[in-house]
Structure 1
């Protein structure tokens, strides 16, 4: 996102705000939450680059109602297929970020015999991990506002055994130590997956 032009960021914000308003009108709380997170990311990027989204940027063509694509909707995914989607992207994020202090950055993940292994970068000292963590991975087409989101929650533990660490160093490009990087295992207990699609209109 950081490499996008100002115009692309402005257009994305407009699409997300419109989608957010439509989802709110339909009282679809899950879509509202999903669009709100993506819009927050866009606004954060704009603030960092000094882009004022409130400032006008020339005249925009008026979009007719008939030209708008149908509102995207969420379709529930089964446990197994939802986990398999994680292999399509390289990283996600812990939710909420404040559950691990000091904060960490997720550099990558992989599935190992049904368990989720995370590679974490330590930004300020060694963190304290709670017994249970929630991890979210998203793959969203920001132009079409379609894609999927998977959330995994379960018992978590730091991987400290050198033999176990060695297994994951190559696939995760990891160099675990106490100062810079940790490896963390999450044993999935609750897995929720949703496909964001415009294929058909769900039953009301």
Structure 2
């Protein structure tokens, strides 16, 4: 609405992130959201993750979940993965979206490694490790305008 423009002046700017910047920010935060298809509709689930040096995003889930079952039932499922850190008061921060193919990790050595590195954030057994291979990586950083004094 027009009134909102007066209350929230355009005092921020958006800067596009490089792929490396986006993956670095993603690696520095522990939680994100995976977007997948459920009954031909988009579904979103919060999960914790880690980012491998090659850019793959690793998550653990249960096979019984809709996401785990969708990945296991197919050779690869196109998903999106999103994470952000945005201050709602100052309206500053960043957002990263990765689109790619999710596949179940079946190599026992890798599964054991990821089970040690990535602890579930809920009190349930996570019996499936999934790797998302990034195809499209985008991100933005919300910054104060150049002429605005920098705040600590």
What secondary structure, in the 3-state scheme, does the structure 2 residue paired with 1:94 have? strand
Of the structure 1 ranges 78-87 and 165-174, higher mean CA displacement relative to structure 2 is found in 165-174
Give the C-alpha shift of residue 138 in structure 1.
Answer: 0.8
Q: Which has the larger radius of gyration?
A: 1
Residue from 87, 90, 104 that aligns with 1:141: 87
| 1:95 alignment partner, SS class | strand
> Taking structure 1 as reference, are residues 111 and 180 closer, same or farther at Cα in structure 2, changes over 3 Å only?
closer
2:150 corresponds in structure 1 to: none
**2:77 aligned residue (114, 131, 153):** 131
Equivalent pair of 2:102/2:130 in contact (CA under 8 Å): yes
* TM-score normalised by the chain length of structure 2: 0.71
Is residue 133–residue 153 contact of structure 1 (8 Å, CA) maintained in 2?
yes
Match for residue 12 of structure 2 among 55, 69, 72: 72
Q: Which has the higher helix share?
A: 1
1:111 alignment counterpart = 51
CA distance in 1, matches of 2:23, 2:67: 31
After the TM superposition, list the runs of 4 or more consecutive aligned residues in structure 1 that deviate by more than 6 angstroms.
none
Q: Distance in 2 between matches of 1:171 and 1:86?
A: 16
Question: Taking structure 1 as the reference length, what is the TM-score of the superposition?
Answer: 0.55
Q: Which protein is richer in strand relative to its size?
A: 2
Unmatched runs of 5 consecutive residues or more in structure 2:
148-152
Among 76, 80, 86, the alignment partner of 2:26 is 86
**What secondary structure is seen at the aligned counterpart in 1 of 2:20?**
helix
Deviation of the 1:107 alpha carbon: 3.0
Instruction: Give the drift of 1:87.
Output: 2.1
CA distance in 2, matches of 1:141, 1:184: 30
Question: Higher relative CO (CA 8 A, sep ≥ 6), structure 1 or 2?
Answer: 2
Task: Decide which of 96, 101, 120 is 2:61's aligned counterpart.
Answer: 120
Give the unaligned 5+ runs of structure 1: 1-16, 23-64
RMSD (Å), alpha carbons: 3.2
